[in-house]
Amino acid sequence: MSGGNKTSVVSGGAGFLGSHLCEELLERGHRVICLDNLDTGSLRNIAHIESDDFEFRNQDVTEEVWIDEPVDFVYHLASPASPIDYQRLPLHTLKVGAQGTWHMLGVAKFKRARFLLASTSEVYGDPQIHPQTEDYWGHVNPIGPRGVYDEAKRYAEALTMAYHRQQGVDTSIVRIFNTYGPRMRANDGRAIPTFLRQALLEQPLTVFGDGSQTRSFCFVDDLVRGLIALAESGEHLPVNIGNPDEYTLQQLAETVIEVTGSGSEVVHEPLPTDDPQVRQPDISRAKEILGWEPKTELKDGLKKTIELSGEGDLTGETA
Ligand code: NAD
């Protein structure tokens, strides 16, 4: 179903993941309409896109969204995504998960387009099962500092399934696990950009807690391939997309030091509230339904991130 004459609308298209998705869709011959209010995204992420098939619209998706032209796919990625952002914008995060998702589902319904909700592994909260399968319902603290994000995404998933079941909208839900690559913001507080910035500036790498908590990290090109594969499938139930290779935060910090050749050391800081102890996707469904699996190993992905990032991007000097 790729390519020729298809139109995709990407909310959050000027963000980290959204900008890579826009590029790949253009590469596959889609016309792309990027909606973004630039809250956490930036025009810098899309400035290099020169295609006539690309259009940026400065649009807050919590306001009414109107698209004149026919649409085939609606990718709904708009949402603050890093803890620093959603804790700075708690009400907006809830609003974009609720009203933003209503509006984007409305576009999909009106246009009879396929809809993809960018959900998150955070819907599993601090998981009691490991690795996380899609049929696990989660263990989320609704009133903790992360609750605004986790519950916004859980609500968005419920809304998406309701639109599908009641209104017959052709929907899909991707639960994205930690993803990294060029255009992450150096100061957004997530582990990989923080460690890269610290390592490149020869500052100590700050690991929270004793560093034994685990995460798994997916390179952005793999992730984008998974999003498009899911959007182009007929699947309606949630699908995990992420890299199942699991690392402790301590191992990640050491790997970043190795890859950057930095002389930095690792220091430890107190663990933030409700920081999940483990995070690892079970990607059996993605493999089975989409034939998808990640190809990029952590060290290679980190090297590519460094190579492909603009000068000063990783150290925050151009932020
Ligand atoms: P990002 O902050 O770089 O991108 C989010 C984009 O949404 C930004 O461009 C921002 O300006 C835009 N936005 C926010 N509110 C908006 C609004 N009301 N109207 C229009 N645009 C709005 O974050 P990202 O890492 O690219 O995340 C993209 C999506 O993927 C998010 O929905 C996030 O929850 C999800 N996700 C990302 C990861 C990851 O590791 N990066 C993991 C899980 C889920």
DSSP single-letter state for residue 28: T
36 CA → ligand 1 middle, Å: 10
35 has which bridge partners? 11, 57
Q: Which residues are catalytic?
A: 149
Please state the φ and ψ torsions of residue 171, each to the nearest 5 degrees: -110, 160
Q: How far is the CA of 217 from the centre of ligand 1 (A)?
A: 17
Q: Are 282 and 241 in contact (CB under 8 A)?
A: no
Query: Tens of pLDDT along the chain (319 residues)?
Result: 445 689 999 999 999 999 999 999 999 999 999 999 999 999 999 999 999 999 999 999 999 999 999 999 999 999 999 999 999 999 999 999 999 999 999 999 999 999 999 999 999 998 889 999 999 999 999 999 999 999 999 999 999 999 999 999 999 999 999 999 999 999 998 999 999 999 999 999 999 999 999 999 999 999 999 999 999 999 999 999 999 999 999 999 999 999 999 999 999 999 888 888 889 999 999 999 999 999 999 999 999 999 999 878 999 987 5
Per the domain annotation, does 194 fall within a domain? Answer: no
Ligand 1 pocket mutation pick from 42, 176, 192 by most atoms within 8 angstroms of CB: 176
Q: What is the pLDDT of residue 275?
A: 83
| Residue 252 domain-assigned (yes or no) | no
Spell out the long-range contacts of 305-311 with Cβ–Cβ below 8 A and sequence spacing 24 or more: 305/180, 305/181, 305/182, 305/184, 305/192, 305/196, 305/219, 306/196, 306/259, 306/260, 308/181, 308/182, 309/182, 309/183
* CB within 8 Å of 263: residues ≥ 6 apart: 202
For ligand 1, the distance from its centroid to the CA atom of residue 85, given in whole angstroms, is: 10
Atom nearest to 179 CA in ligand 1: 40
Whether 70 is in a domain gets the answer: yes
Report if residue 257 sits inside a domain.
Answer: no
Q: Which domain holds residue 23?
A: 7-184+218-243+280-295
Query: How high is the pLDDT of residue 1?
Result: 46
Pocket of ligand 1 (CB under 6 A): 11-12, 14-18, 35-41, 59-62, 77-81, 96, 100, 118, 120, 176, 178-179
Report which protein residue has its CA nearest ligand 1's atom 16.
78
Pairwise CA distance, residues 248 & 36, whole Å = 34
For the chain, what is the domain count?
Answer: 1
Residue 196 domain-assigned?
A: no
- Mutate which of 43, 64, 79, 176 to test ligand 1's pocket (most atoms within 8 Å of Cβ)? 79
What is the distance in A from the centroid of ligand 1 to the CA of 213?
Answer: 24
Query: Of ligand 1's atoms, which has the minimum distance to the CA of residue 218?
Result: 40
- Domain for residue 65, yes or no? yes
Ligand 1 center to 133 CA (angstroms): 23
Q: Domain holding 59: CATH number? A: 3.40.50.720
